[in-house]
Amino acid sequence: MPLIRHPAPTARRKGLSHHMPAPLSTPHRELLRWYRRHGRDLPWRKTRDPYHIALSETMLQQTQVERVIPYYQRFLQHYPDAAALAVADVQDLHRMWKGLGFPSRIERLQRACACVVKQYQGQWPQTPEALQKLPGIGPYTASAIATFAFGQAVAVVDTNIARVYTRRDGLPLPLDRRQIWVHAAHQVHPQQPIDYTNALMDLGAAICTARAPRCEQCPWQQRCLSHGAVEVLEASSNPLRVASARKVYSAKPQRRGLPRIPVVLALVHHQGHYLVAQRPQQLRHGGYWELPGGKREAGESDRQALARELMEETGLDLLSARPFVTVYDEGEEHCIVLSVYRCRVFNPDQAQARASDGIRWVDPQEFLTLDFPPANAAILARFRDYHRLG
């Protein structure tokens, strides 16, 4: 990454505070020192305009950073403020949005901007609680706007930040959404929330990645509870230890006698790409990516369950299914048997997000960069081995 110059720390920027900043803890200093050397130079980090922040956060929800940048800049040229976006023609917005996917995102932002103009006289609310009263603004976006536009010392938790805290502090799995937000709220420094949150995001994106983390380059290596405990084995027949190495996912059951819950997953492929779905935010592991599928009902074969789940979740008709891998996720009271099949469908271009926050077709390399629930670790290892990646 290029060496960049960042603005002065948040608390010392003009007009923000007349008080001396509170002393930073050692972890804060370590991370901010790393960030000033390696942080990403992104256009929305050069502004405190809440509309600009809201636009960037809306675009970034389900799209990679590099792809967002030109769209973000182009949108601001045509719609420089909330008032301009509020009265824009929806079809024009869709045309400008084309290529980013999920156009409902810009429609929601337009409704929020209209509310800001009409009910708030063009002045954006400044707290997460007030921002969430705007139509289409959820908890994450509200916290991001409050932090990056108004310097509010509140938690902002995306998948990168959740992964960093889970590994560094050895949080128990499966991770509870409320737990990670409460945990993150205790970590925010009141004087430098913008720099600190950006640093966390960059650490998760560049160093503490979902696959193959670069622990030797991490500023928190010495205080990370997962450093040296994360072991991911390439052979699909071996156990995999993930996250804080507290739970085993394997290709063979380790304990006998546990009641089994059969689950089928569809690894749908088409022209070198695979279909993935994003779990709804309100569910366990919300925001993570997953394969279409679900619990096999009584009396169903695996193929029948695959066909039903694919239709219910994506609107796709199953053409063929071949076994790919079976993984056993063992808990204290039961064992979930994940049977994964490589599937083909009749109508791949008609996929719909019927039961998720979004669906995407991704190539094998991108597939391995996505955040999946912990129980998918053995599946990902089998996938990597199948494609001879890594």
pLDDT of 207? 95
Q: Looking at residues 322-337, what average pLDDT do you find?
A: 82
Whether residue 256 is predicted with pLDDT greater than 80 in this model: the reply is: no
pLDDT at 372 over 90: no
Look at residue 21 in the predicted model and tell me its pLDDT: 39
The whole-number average pLDDT for the span 299-306 is 93
Tokens read off for 279: 């779990």
pLDDT number for residue 12 = 34
67-87 pLDDT, tens digit each: 999 999 999 999 999 999 999
Q: In whole angstroms, what separates CA 333 from the centre of its chain?
A: 29
CA atoms in the 13 A half-sphere facing the CB of 304 = 7
Distance from CA of residue 172 to its chain's centroid? 19
175 vs 386, more confident? 386
Q: Which helix (H) or strand (E) holds 260?
A: strand 260-270
Q: Is the peptide bond before 174 cis (omega within 30 degrees of 0)?
A: yes
Confidence check: pLDDT of 263 > 70: yes
Closest CA to 306 of 284, 323, 289: 323
User: Mean pLDDT of all residues in the chain?
Assistant: 83
pLDDT-based confidence at 62, cuts 50/70/90? Answer: confident
What is the average per-residue pLDDT within 253-278?
A: 86
Residue 36 burial (10 A CB sphere; 0-12, 13-18, 19+): middle
227-251 tens-digit pLDDT: 654 433 232 332 222 332 233 334 4
Is 366 one of the catalytic residues? no
**pLDDT per residue over 112-129, tens digit each?**
999 999 999 999 999 999
- Please give the pLDDT value at position 381: 79
Separation between Cα atoms, residue 32 and residue 197, nearest integer Å: 10
Percent of the chain with pLDDT over 70: 84
Instruction: Write out the DSSP string of 96-150.
Output: HHTTS--THHHHHHHHHHHHHHHHSTTPPP-SHHHHTTSTT--HHHHHHHHHHHH
* Most trustworthy range by pLDDT among 114-118, 220-224, 286-290, 373-377: 114-118
Of 30, 57, 309, 330, which one is the catalytic site residue?
57
Domains assigned to the chain: 26-223 (1.10.340.30), 260-387 (3.90.79.10)
Contact between 68 and 59 (Cβ < 8 Å): yes
- Say yes or no to pLDDT of 224 above 50: yes
Q: β-strand 335-345 against 260-270: which pairing, if any?
A: parallel
Q: In this predicted structure, what is the pLDDT of residue 175? A: 66
Q: Does 322 have pLDDT greater than 90?
A: no
Nearest to 356 by CA among 273, 285, 268, 267: 285
What is the rounded CA–CA span in Å between residue 198 and residue 60? 14
Query: Residues of the chain with pLDDT > 90: what percent?
Result: 54
CA distance 220 to 223: 5
The more confidently predicted of residues 89 and 368 is 89
pLDDT confidence of residue 235 = 29
Structure tokens at 61: 């929800």
Among positive and negative, which fits the CA dihedral 35, 154, 48, 160? positive
pLDDT digits (tens, 9 = 90+) for 143-171: 999 999 999 999 999 989 998 988 888 77
How many CA atoms lie within 13 Å of 153's alpha carbon, on the beta-carbon side?
Answer: 13
User: Comparing C-alpha atoms, which of 269, 283, 340 is closest to residue 309?
Assistant: 340
